[in-house]
Structure 1
Amino acid sequence: MRQTAADIDHAILDVAAGIFATHGYAHTSVQQVADAVGYSKPGLLHRFGSKEALYRLVLREVSRTADDIAAFAIARANDPDQAVAVLELVTRRALARPGMMRMMLQAFGPRADDPFSATVRVAGAKLLDAFDHPLSTPVERLRVLLALELISTAAITQHSRSGSDLRVDAEHLVRTVVPLAAGVLGAQPVAV
């Protein structure tokens, strides 16, 4: 089946998010993104207009993803298994859009070259707050961040060109990663 323009844009934005997350806004070039998605630089600029326009679209998607995860968590506020349900959703989202997850996690990194860092920080805070977990101490917030990093790293291995020996069926990955991440949170024991 042929991809729609929206599907192509969706894929390009995720790849761009991963590159921006890795290199920062100032150190990411349109050529890097074009090379990664198999476009020419003029073709990518024709599609998105400019590096800043591309970045703003990435940030909009990052915000939308964080809002969706937060809404999911709020809808399950009284569920005793809320944290595990949110971890599963985050894992599935990370598998589908690993670049977006990396970008959200940049909220906790030392990036100073991002002119739009407030948007990333807000998305990262929403991601942390999505867990019905007493986030009153730095240690508890660190546990959530480590669980999210575990998920993100696992998702990236599934999209890596060099990590083909690490690829597993998506459902198997979810069944493996979610209990590990929950164990990091202290939401349930690790039993994989």
Structure 2
Amino acid sequence: MTRPFRQQVDESILDQAAALFARRGVAKTSLQEVADAVGLSKTGLLHHFPSKDALREAVVAQANSLGQRVLDQVRDLPVGVDRDRTALEVLVDVAFAHPGMVAMLLIPVARGGDDVVVPGPTDGGVGGAAFDAFGVDPVIPASERAVRVAGALAALAVLSLAAHHDDQISTWRPHIVATCFDALGHGRVARSGSDQVED
């Protein structure tokens, strides 16, 4: 198996595992369920990840890697409108490419519990990187900006999952970005029949 293909297969496994972990929790998700979701035998899955613990650790590592990719694309921009717009564009693309990770990131918000896989906003991962991308420290007491960022991220997650589920990624993408941009407190104006953001 060539390296790019193997990486693509591994990413697919990790995203399916993340989706199952989100739905059922790690403890209640079997390796057989993950194997079935990706069309492998259990032995084939174990060839990629030798145990459920290894799979769980790989999911966390993938979340951290995705978070780093987001930060790499906005790091050099000053905090403000342009950085917000770029961060939203990047995060929407990440969300569409990795819906299982997005579902898993919603678990602490939706139901909490001890069976959460991805590190919280203070520990890294896509969640922590998302706050960092907007220049917000999630550890300090909540400010209006922090609440707006949290609202925009929650909307982005829910809407991207719905768009993915309904196979409407390209149709919904500009509307998701515009909605999240509004949630951040930036205005919108309709020009030439399409929604575009204004500063």
Same fold, TM exceeding 0.5? yes
- Measure the CA separation in 1 of the matches of 2:56 and 2:44: 16
Q: Given the alignment of the two structures, is residue 68 of structure 1 paired with residue 65 of structure 2, yes or no? A: no
Return the alpha-carbon distance in structure 2 between the equivalents of residues 182 and 14 of structure 1.
Answer: 27
Q: Kindly state the Cα deviation for residue 107 of structure 1 after the two structures are TM-superposed.
A: 5.1
Higher relative strand content: 2
CA RMSD of aligned residues (A): 2.9
Amino acid at match of 2:155: L
In the TM superposition, residue 183 of structure 1 has moved relative to its aligned partner by: 0.9
Partner of 1:127: 130
Change (3 A) 1:159 1:20: same
| Identical-pair percentage | 30
Task: Answer yes or no: is the 8 Å Cα contact 1:63–1:119 preserved in 2.
Answer: no
CA distance in 1 between counterparts of 2:120 and 2:156 reads 23
Cα distance, 1:74–1:27 mapped onto 2, change above 3 Å: same
Q: Could you tell me which residue of structure 1 aligns to residue 162 of structure 2?
A: 157
What is the match of residue 10 of structure 1? 11
Distance in 2 of aligned mates of 1:54 and 1:120: 22
Gaps of 5+ in 1: 161-165
The answer (yes or no) to whether the contact 1:103–1:120 under 8 Å persists in 2 is no
Partner of 1:163: none
Question: TM (normalized to structure 1)?
Answer: 0.80
Structure 2 residues without counterparts, runs of 5 or longer:
none
Call closer, same or farther: CA 1:126–1:38 in 2, change over 3 Å.
same
Instruction: Spell out, residue by residue over 1:82-129, the C-alpha distance to the aligned partner (whole angstroms, 9 max, x if none).
Output: 111100110011111112223344454513134774698432222212
